[in-house]
């Protein structure tokens, strides 16, 4: 299996910060190929964000119990040392979050933040090289006047622009995997669509695999070839998007599809 | 009433300390073991003993009795200071925050000017013009405290004045004064409460400082600050003279700041 | 730049207001300067003559502006008591107080910065809890009582310094500094406690924020996240506190000078008040207020550099 990028086997995540342990992810299995876009759908609390955090190496391990394995290009990263995981973070695995308003450091310039992964993972690069790459990256996420944006602070940008900056900084090292954890939820509908189109284009041009996590089925349907439906920490159903939308097997999936507003459905047809 | 145990530890310790302090103050108003200004030549600088539990000062006056009186003085001065600051602060803050406009602009500039002026310095100006004494100190500190309360109240009023319930009250024909004092003011109390406690502490510390400099409570009336100033001369021979008044200031301030922290945490 | 200009104008207006208020306050004192200067041996004739000489018969505003212009030029008037220019009396004492305040401030920054970060990183552990308890007590100790404790412990018991001793900076600068160390500790300790508490809380609060997660996701380690991301943000409220503290320390040293018997500007102020030597009182108060206001201005500027969101918030 040459083109297998990510494989998760029997992932379990259990919280221990309350009296009763709370299992948020329960026996999750999944595979992601190179260049593929996989959607994970489910309502809030279904464990999809926790899965994303586990892959990105962002779980706070001390107050939870973690089981299973996550293989990234053949390396197990779920139980790897912090140092080893840091080598992947920002370099091979990029992540963008739900809240573009708060996910950028308010007191640092945009350029500094976009270049940060380069400073960490490509220390040999000169300042000029980094600058050129940052401008390229800002251009590729369709930000107008990238040179001006480079010098701005986060509060001077709109939510949509900030999410583009987040994508630019996640993509600057050309990671093999981009995790997008509800990247459009906090944005206006028109901007949602733009971001989805942008992700699609980046996927085509750089052959980056994307893990797109959302509760918005209509967006997932547009972007992803394959989807995975989660409910209460378990995978309910997985497979080709078209297949699942036309012939949902599980009652929960049918319910989810039924919940899409009619107008949206008609637009899709 | 919630159960005692459910309050944070800080709050509980603070409540106990403040309780004891208040009890001592109240007792001190009605009863002191000795006359706080009565001198006993045979007991000059006496060490703590069963007769004089905190010892005696250089005039042979019972330190414990003087500490009780001094705490009462400090407490009343701090209370009066904070009262002036809060009442004026509420009036200034409420009107400027509610109405905005040029009144707000002017009063806030004045506020900034007073705020920039350190409170001890203001008190020194008052004292050099009107003479020493506790009433001048109360007035000066009170004025110095107005700006900080006014700012807090103003901020809260700006937050509330455009809320729907205020708008509907306005539409229903409720008078502005009633909206300010009945509809909005009670909502600012939670925020005000912890700053009142912090203000009280600052007042206690400032009063002690003034009396230490000899410009607050005048002798022979007792004050924790002036006792410390006298005690300094006899520091080597009678450290107890300095320790007890100082300890009482620390406990008063500590109790209140723990209470304030506890309120914020909840 | 617009922000700096606006703050500069505000500062100048505040300075003007305060100088006016102080001058006005001392002008309406019952019994004017001439009476105070002559004291008991005043006769109506001598009083009138002196009033004429001091220009007290001219209108108030005229006298104010003349005083203000002279003040800005460095001419603070003549002391009633010592009959010498106030500027000469103050100029040798002002450095003592200013150096004391600056030293205390430096002490606070140097100690509270690492301690705040350390307690934040170890929050909830035993070390942290111990430091927080000590902190809470320190905050409740008035600095002059701290001065008395230090005098007793280090001066009388351990004999590390001579209580009441002082060497002017003009005779021996090194000795002068060594005599200031203990007073400075007394001023700094309560402020150290305050800023450790604030910095600790601020660090812990910032560490919860979303941008910290972003920083980790790029491959930062805990150290770089702390120093490159969290600390800059956590410092913003601390800078405000430090600004107010510097002013506090300057005024606080008036009291501490009494505890340690240091002949600084506070001493002059207090003796002048008791002698009703108004030109001196006036000059010292306006001078201290001016230093405080200029400090506030500088803090505003530093604050704006530290937090880029400020300037925009001001305009819109």
Q: How far apart are CA C301 and CA C315, in angstroms?
A: 15
A61 or A33, which is more confident: A33
**pLDDT value, residue A262:** 58
Instruction: Inform me whether the C-beta atom of residue C131 falls under 8 Å from chain B C-beta atoms.
Output: no
**pLDDT value, residue B254:** 93
Average pLDDT over residues C203-223: 93
**pLDDT value, residue C314:** 41
User: B117 and C144 in contact by Cβ < 8 A?
Assistant: no
Instruction: Inform me whether the C-beta atom of residue C234 falls under 8 Å from chain B C-beta atoms.
Output: no
Instruction: Using CB atoms, pick whichever of C211, C306, C309 lies closest to residue A102.
Output: C211
Give the least confident one: B232-236, C123-127, C221-225, C265-269: B232-236
Residues forming beta bridges with residue C19, ordered by sequence position: none
User: C217 and A56 in contact by Cβ < 8 A?
Assistant: yes
- Determine contact, residues A91/A121, Cβ cutoff 8 Å: yes
Average pLDDT over residues A63-86: 88
User: C219 and A88 in contact by Cβ < 8 A?
Assistant: yes
> What are the sequence ranges of the domains in chain A?
4-262
In a mutagenesis test of the A interface, which of C214, C225, C229 is the best target, namely the one with the most A β-carbons within 10 Å? Answer: C214
Asked whether the CA dihedral A87, A88, A91, A95 is positive or negative, the reply is negative
- Determine contact, residues B56/B34, Cβ cutoff 8 Å: no
Give the least confident one: B17-26, C45-54, C88-97, C263-272: C45-54
**How near does any CA of chain C get to the CA of B52, in Å?**
23
Mean pLDDT taken over chain C: 86
**pLDDT value, residue C316:** 29
**How near does any CA of chain C get to the CA of B169, in Å?**
29
Q: How far apart are CA B11 and CA C236, in angstroms?
A: 28
User: C217 and A153 in contact by Cβ < 8 A?
Assistant: no
Average pLDDT over residues B24-44: 81
CATH topology of domain A4-262: Rossmann fold (3.40.50)
Instruction: Inform me whether the C-beta atom of residue C140 falls under 8 Å from chain B C-beta atoms.
Output: yes
Q: Where residue B1 falls among pLDDT bands split at 50, 70, 90?
A: low
User: A156 and C217 in contact by Cβ < 8 A?
Assistant: no
Is the confidence at residue C315, as pLDDT, over 60? no
Instruction: Inform me whether the C-beta atom of residue B137 falls under 8 Å from chain C C-beta atoms.
Output: no
**How near does any CA of chain A get to the CA of C248, in Å?**
28
Is the confidence at residue B28, as pLDDT, over 90? no
pLDDT in tens, B248-264: 999 999 999 998 888 77
Give the least confident one: A174-183, B129-138, C129-138, C194-203: B129-138
Average pLDDT over residues C17-23: 88
The count of residues in chain A is 269
**pLDDT value, residue C312:** 47
Instruction: Inform me whether the C-beta atom of residue C303 falls under 8 Å from chain A C-beta atoms.
Output: no
The phi and psi torsions of A12 (rounded to 5 degrees) equal -125, 130
Residue reference for tokens 């779980």: A59
Q: Between β-strands A209-214 and A37-41, what pairing exists: parallel, antiparallel or unpaired?
A: parallel
- Determine contact, residues B155/B192, Cβ cutoff 8 Å: no
Q: How far apart are CA C29 and CA C65, in angstroms?
A: 19
User: A102 and C209 in contact by Cβ < 8 A?
Assistant: yes
Q: Between β-strands A75-76 and A64-72, what pairing exists: parallel, antiparallel or unpaired?
A: antiparallel
Instruction: Inform me whether the C-beta atom of residue C134 falls under 8 Å from chain B C-beta atoms.
Output: no
Instruction: Inform me whether the C-beta atom of residue B212 falls under 8 Å from chain C C-beta atoms.
Output: yes
> What are the sequence ranges of the domains in chain C?
2-72, 94-315
Q: pTM (2 decimals)?
A: 0.87
pLDDT in tens, A143-189: 989 999 999 999 999 988 999 999 999 999 999 999 999 888 888 88
DSSP at C291: H
Is the confidence at residue A217, as pLDDT, over 60? yes
**pLDDT value, residue C189:** 94
Average pLDDT over residues C230-242: 92
**pLDDT value, residue C40:** 64
pLDDT in tens, B189-236: 888 888 898 899 999 999 898 889 888 888 778 889 889 988 888 888
CATH topology of domain B7-26+62-265: MetI-like fold (1.10.3720)
Average pLDDT over residues C78-107: 89
Mean pLDDT taken over chain A: 87
Instruction: Using CB atoms, pick whichever of C22, C152, C255 lies closest to residue B235.
Output: C152
Asked whether the CA dihedral A105, A110, A114, A117 is positive or negative, the reply is negative
- Asked if chain A contacts chain B via 3 or more Cβ pairs within 8 Å, the reply is no
Residues forming beta bridges with residue A95, ordered by sequence position: A179
Chain B residue with minimal CA distance to C243? Answer: B116
Instruction: Inform me whether the C-beta atom of residue A74 falls under 8 Å from chain C C-beta atoms.
Output: no
Q: How far apart are CA A113 and CA A253, in angstroms?
A: 39
Is the confidence at residue A2, as pLDDT, over 70? no
Query: What would the CATH number be for the domain defined by C94-315?
Result: 1.10.3720.10
Instruction: Inform me whether the C-beta atom of residue C218 falls under 8 Å from chain A C-beta atoms.
Output: yes
User: C214 and A82 in contact by Cβ < 8 A?
Assistant: no
- Determine contact, residues B224/B252, Cβ cutoff 8 Å: no
């Amino acid at each position: 299996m040459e083109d297998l990028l990510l494989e998760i086997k029997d992932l379990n995540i259990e919280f221990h910060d309350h009296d009763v342990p709370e299992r948020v992810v329960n026996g999750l299995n999944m595979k992601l190929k190179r260049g593929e876009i996989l959607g994970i759908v489910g309502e809030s609390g279904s464990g999809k964000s926790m899965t994303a955090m586990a892959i990105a190496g962002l779980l706070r391990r001390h107050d939870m119990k973690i089981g299973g394995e996550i293989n990234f290009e053949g390396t197990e990263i779920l139980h790897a040392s912090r140092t080893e995981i840091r080598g992947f973070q920002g370099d091979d695995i990029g992540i963008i979050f739900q809240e573009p308003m708060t996910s950028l450091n308010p007191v640092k310039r945009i350029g500094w933040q976009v270049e940060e992964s380069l400073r960490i993972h490509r220390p040999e690069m000169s300042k000029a090289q980094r600058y050129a790459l940052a401008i390229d990256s800002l251009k590729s996420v369709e930000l107008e006047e990238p040179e001006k944006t480079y010098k701005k602070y986060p509060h001077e940008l709109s939510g949509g622009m900030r999410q583009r900056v987040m994508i630019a900084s996640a993509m600057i090292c050309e990671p093999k995997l981009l995790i997008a954890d509800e990247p459009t939820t906090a944005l206006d509908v028109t901007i949602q669509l733009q971001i989805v189109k942008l992700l699609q284009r980046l996927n085509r041009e750089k052959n980056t695999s994307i893990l797109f996590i959302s509760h918005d089925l209509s967006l997932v349907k547009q972007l992803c070839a394959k989807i995975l439906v989660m409910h209460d920490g378990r995978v309910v159903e997985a497979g080709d998007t078209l297949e699942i939308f036309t012939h949902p097997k599980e009652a929960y999936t049918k319910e989810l599809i039924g919940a899409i507003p009619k107008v949206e459905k008609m637009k899709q047809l | 009433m919630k159960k005692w145990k459910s309050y944070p530890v800080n709050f509980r310790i603070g409540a106990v300390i403040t309780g004891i302090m208040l009890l001592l103050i109240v007792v001190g108003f009605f009863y002191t073991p000795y006359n706080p200004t009565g001198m006993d030549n045979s007991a000059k600088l006496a060490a703590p003993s069963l007769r004089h539990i905190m010892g005696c000062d250089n005039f042979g006056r019972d330190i414990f009795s003087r500490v009780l009186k001094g705490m009462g003085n400090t407490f009343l001065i701090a209370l009066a200071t904070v009262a002036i600051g809060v009442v004026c602060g509420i009036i200034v803050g409420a009107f400027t925050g509610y109405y905005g406009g040029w009144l707000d602009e002017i009063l806030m500039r004045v506020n900034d000017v007073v705020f920039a002026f350190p409170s001890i310095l203001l008190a020194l100006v008052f004292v050099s013009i009107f003479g020493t004494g506790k009433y001048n100190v109360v007035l000066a500190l009170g004025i110095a405290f107005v700006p900080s309360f006014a700012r807090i109240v103003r901020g809260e009023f700006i937050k509330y004045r455009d809320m729907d319930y205020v708008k509907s009250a306005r539409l229903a024909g409720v008078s502005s004064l009633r909206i300010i004092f009945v509809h909005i003011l009670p909502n600012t109390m939670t925020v005000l409460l912890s700053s009142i406690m912090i203000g009280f502490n600052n007042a206690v510390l400032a009063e002690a400082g003034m009396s230490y400099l000899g410009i607050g409570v005048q002798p022979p009336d007792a004050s924790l600050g002036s006792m410390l100033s006298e005690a300094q001369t006899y520091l080597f021979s009678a450290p107890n003279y300095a320790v007890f008044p100082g300890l009482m200031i620390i406990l008063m301030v500590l109790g209140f700041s723990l209470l304030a922290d506890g309120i914020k945490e909840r | 730049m617009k922000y700096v200009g606006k703050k500069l104008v505000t500062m100048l207006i505040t300075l003007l207001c305060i100088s006016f208020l102080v001058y006005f306050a001392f002008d309406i004192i019952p019994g004017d300067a001439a009476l105070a200067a002559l004291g008991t041996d005043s006769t109506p004739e001598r009083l009138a003559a002196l009033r004429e000489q001091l220009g007290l018969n001219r209108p108030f505003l005229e006298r104010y502006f003349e005083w203000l212009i002279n003040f800005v030029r460095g001419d603070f008037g003549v002391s009633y008591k010592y009959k010498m220019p106030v500027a000469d009396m103050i100029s040798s004492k002002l450095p003592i107080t200013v150096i004391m305040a600056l030293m205390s401030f430096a002490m606070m920054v140097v100690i509270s910065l690492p301690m705040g970060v350390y307690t934040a990183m170890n929050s909830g552990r035993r070390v942290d809890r111990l430091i927080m308890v000590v902190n809470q007590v320190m905050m409740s100790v008035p600095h002059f009582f701290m001065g008395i404790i230090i005098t007793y412990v280090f001066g009388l018991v351990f004999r590390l310094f001579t209580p009441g001793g002082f060497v002017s900076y003009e005779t021996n600068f090194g000795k002068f500094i060594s005599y200031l160390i203990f007073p400075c500790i007394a001023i700094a300790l309560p402020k150290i406690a305050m800023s450790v508490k604030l910095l600790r809380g601020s660090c812990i609060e910032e560490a919860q924020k979303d941008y910290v997660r972003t920083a980790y996701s790029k491959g930062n380690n805990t150290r770089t996240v702390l120093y490159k991301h969290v600390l800059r943000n956590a410092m913003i409220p601390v800078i405000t506190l430090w600004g107010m503290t510097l002013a506090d320390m300057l005024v606080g040293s008036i009291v501490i000078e009494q505890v340690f018997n240091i002949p600084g500007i506070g001493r002059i102020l207090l003796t002048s008040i008791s002698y009703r030597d108004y030109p001196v009182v006036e000059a010292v108060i306006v001078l201290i207020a001016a230093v405080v206001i200029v400090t506030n201005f500088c803090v505003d500027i530093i604050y704006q550099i530290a937090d880029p969101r400020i300037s925009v918030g001001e305009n819109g």
